A = this chain, B = another copy of it.
Amino acid sequence: MARTQPQKRATVHDVAAAAGVSRGTVSRVLNGGYVSAASRAAIEAAIADVGYVPNTAARNLVRRRSQAVGFLTLEPHSLLLEDPNIGAIMLGANEELSIADHQMVSLVVDSARDTERVARYLSGGFVDGAIVVSARTHDPITRVIGALGLPATFVGHPPDLSRDTPWVGIDNAGSARALVTRLAAGGRRRIGMIAAALDRDSGADRLAGFRAALGDRFDAGLVAEVPLYDYASGVKGMRELLSREPAIDGVFAASDAVAAGALEVLRDAGRAVPADVGLVGFDDSSWALRTQPPLSTVHQPAREVGAVAADLVLRQINGDHPDPVVLPSPIVWRDSA
């Protein structure tokens, strides 16, 4: 009949009683403070004896700190399931927070209902700060964070006007530009792009880089817009491009997953890569090495992005006022172009 329910937990009071000291002394051995060896021994014994475990809610209440930071993922449909980077970013953040003895709590915002609940959670003193990945312009969550004055860091550059909250990311535009420039240098004449997630900074910036690289030769008719950074979008986008310009001989896919989808369409259409058409992706995710041929792409240091994001919130929690940081994202050139 093991009950899993009420389970009255031992408190400092109980420990004190069992050890024959006052609650203050118990509290002192728990945190750091001067306490005699004798008392300490007795108290430690008592703790083990009554099975005491601190109530963090109470501790937070008095300390006004939770030792936790939120990791917010907006729009999980595309992100949690499709974005190969998000996992690595989380891991990087967790690692960094871990060594600072902070708990990372990952919150997913999947509906209006979620939004409201997460807002309450954030306001409730559960976290000392937040890492927000892929915020869109005018996101309610962004507003809440601002209103709360909660230490925060954006992954990807900050939506709209955004006050002084720092962010960490890569130079999407610059990298895209460099990549496409190199693709063009290979002698390709008709270069198109499958542009994804244009409502996100990364998506918009990659398109901007594409355009900049091509300059006068840019042709708006050669960019296919798709909603997500995923494989299916790549399939769709490539079909569109192919029908619009059968003579296409170069393609910049907004992500490796998109490129993988495009690759399949090209194969089915009988176009050899890279012989007939040069294809490049973005992210250097696991996709890049799984395709045949492996993808030329831009390396995104996902794990480090997460680590830096964590560092930036931590610094703010400690009263600092750090600047944004953009990490290097080198081109890695393989066989697809």
Partner of A99, one of B101, B113, B150: B113
CA distance A148 to B87 in the complex (A): 30
Residues of B within 8 A of A61 (CB): 55, 57-58, 61
Chain A residues within 8 Å of chain B by Cβ, number: 65
Chain B's nearest CB lies how many Å from the CB of A167?
14
Partner of A103, one of B2, B118, B260, B316: B118
Inter-chain pairs besides A57-B60, A81-B88, 13 sampled, C-beta below 8 Å: A4-B150, A4-B164, A4-B165, A58-B61, A76-B87, A81-B84, A81-B91, A90-B108, A104-B107, A105-B105, A105-B106, A106-B107, A231-B286
Residues of B within 8 A of A149 (CB): 2-5, 7
Chain B's nearest CB lies how many Å from the CB of A8?
10
Q: Which of A121-129, A269-277, A329-337 contacts B (4 or more CB under 8 A)?
A: A121-129
Residues of B within 8 A of A165 (CB): 4
Residues of B within 8 A of A260 (CB): 290
> In chain A, residues 51-65, which have Cβ atoms closer than 8 Å to a Cβ of chain B?
51, 53-61
Is A94 within 8 A of B114, CB to CB? yes
The 9 lowest CB-CB distance pairs between A and B, nearest first, are A56-B124, A106-B106, A53-B123, A80-B87, A105-B105, A7-B149, A57-B125, A81-B87, A57-B60
